Structure 1
Amino acid sequence: MTENNPKKTREEKQIFKKMNFKKMNGWKIAFLVLTAFVIGTGIFLGTRIFAIREPNYSETAKVTNTKGQEVTTISMNKSQLNALIDYYLTDFQKDSSVKYQFALENEAMLSGETKVLNFPVHFYLYFDPYVMENGNIQLRAKSMSIGTLGLPIEEVMKLVKRSYDFPEWIEVTPKDKAITLRLDQFQLPTGLFVKAKKINLIDDEIQVGLYLPEGKE
């Protein structure tokens, strides 16, 4: 019968603990590496999704001749203007597979569908319209709805700007949370142009001036 050696037993226990420590430490390292990879991938995808690719705009957009004689003032209500907007957007988006809608109620509303992490999400953006001194119209975003996602308005507007084609005379500026209708760049086929004069959605009063360019009076 062999005699027990207490010293040898203690050494064996220490070796066993070291082996277990290395094994546990290896699992911890693998877990940390995997966690760092997942977080890093998420950050990368997030920045790619919300990074906006800005086109090279010139500092001063081309402006058509907005000097002339006012021919008449056109008054309309929201229903009449919505019919015109719907007709215009239907024609403008006829060759587009991704469509959006714009309508006036007690506020201006832009709605459509975009993708977040490659999943389709329906959005609604609500604006207050303001007539600018030059006769253009600025829509200032005040609230939004985009499913259950808690994204800030600026990020949603970046997604909208990337996802949709807008007429050249419409400027979307996510940083300012605004959309500007550049009526000074919108000219009717006859050469006439328009300027906004009044927008009161609550009282259902909308007025635009119709102008004849200089040299054509």
Structure 2
Amino acid sequence: MNKNVWKKRFYILAGVNIGVLLLLTLYFYSPVPKVDIEKERTAYKLEDSSEFIVRSTKHHVNNLVNAYLDKLLANTDHQFYINIDEEVQLFGEIPIFSSTVPLVVNFEPVVQENGDLSLKQKSISVGDLKLPNKKIMQYIEQYLPTPEWVVINPREEEIYVKVTEMDIKSNFHVAVHAFDLETNNIAFKFDVPYKTLGIDSLAKKGLNN
């Protein structure tokens, strides 16, 4: 009797094990169900370009601007440099009468809707001289060489930086996205034409498909 009971239990256990093994085998080796994923066709913009936001810091922008100023002033006797901290400060010297006097101008940067940057004059000093702000801005316009995309406007007491009209060799289009000195949030928007990367034909092909 005991042998028959144990034999019966053995066969039941063996049958259960075989059944579990078959189920596991069927599960692991059965075909993986196909998942239909609707892929959106890549569509290029009609202007054949893509937009990127590049973030920077006051330190890096400060170094870049001063490197550019050094190049502009290389063949002149004038010295100007920029310090970007809580404000944008312009330091330099301007000739008055037979000597030069130190110049310090504090600007507040204001991002324009079109991506340009306006530097609004907040305070200005020329040594111990008491001169009208507009007159000092005229001196700056006269002695500080600037590219075409930087406009010194004495009447409005501002320096207008036409960032969107900068001539960049890579043909990228640049605009100011953010210029918050208090939070050190400085960002530029780059619009990269596909033809600059040699994929202009691919962009057109993507539009036609």
Return the TM-score normalized by structure 1.
Answer: 0.65
Q: Distance in 2 between matches of 1:194 and 1:90?
A: 22
Alpha-carbon displacement from aligned partner over 1:50-94 (angstroms, at most 9, x marks no partner): xxxxxxxxxxxxxxxxx7744311111101111111222222222
- Superposition deviation, residue 119 in structure 1: 2.3
Q: Equivalent residue of 1:94, what SS?
A: coil
Aligned to 1:23: none
Alpha-carbon displacement from aligned partner over 1:148-173 (angstroms, at most 9, x marks no partner): 11112111000111112111210000
- Superposition deviation, residue 125 in structure 1: 0.6
Aligned to 2:162: 182
Choose which of 137, 140, 144 in structure 2 pairs with 1:157: 137
Aligned to 2:38: none
Change (3 A) 1:68 1:144: farther
1:79 lines up with 2:59 in the alignment: yes
Q: Distance in 1 between matches of 2:171 and 2:138?
A: 33
Q: Distance in 1 between matches of 2:155 and 2:105?
A: 15
Aligned to 1:112: 92
Q: Distance in 2 between matches of 1:138 and 1:214?
A: 30
Aligned to 2:82: 102
Q: Distance in 2 between matches of 1:96 and 1:201?
A: 31
Choose which of 199, 204, 210 in structure 1 pairs with 2:179: 199
Q: Equivalent residue of 1:184, what SS?
A: helix
- Superposition deviation, residue 193 in structure 1: 1.8
Q: Distance in 2 between matches of 1:199 and 1:175?
A: 24
Contact 2:94–2:103 at 8 Å: present in 1 too? yes
Q: Distance in 2 between matches of 1:199 and 1:71?
A: 18
Contact 1:187–1:194 at 8 Å: present in 2 too? no
Contact 1:109–1:125 at 8 Å: present in 2 too? yes
Q: Rg: which structure is higher?
A: 2
- Superposition deviation, residue 145 in structure 1: 1.8
Alpha-carbon displacement from aligned partner over 1:96-126 (angstroms, at most 9, x marks no partner): 2212112211001111111222321110011
Q: Distance in 2 between matches of 1:195 and 1:188?
A: 12
Structure 1, unmatched stretches of 5+, are 1-66
1:212 lines up with 2:181 in the alignment: no
Of 88-97 and 176-185, the range deviating more from structure 2 = 88-97
Aligned length: 151
Contact 1:110–1:124 at 8 Å: present in 2 too? yes
Contact 1:184–1:195 at 8 Å: present in 2 too? yes
Q: Distance in 1 between matches of 2:143 and 2:60?
A: 28
Q: Distance in 1 between matches of 2:53 and 2:104?
A: 32
Identity among equivalent positions (%) equals 23
Aligned to 1:132: 112
1:146 lines up with 2:126 in the alignment: yes
Contact 1:169–1:183 at 8 Å: present in 2 too? yes
Aligned to 2:39: none
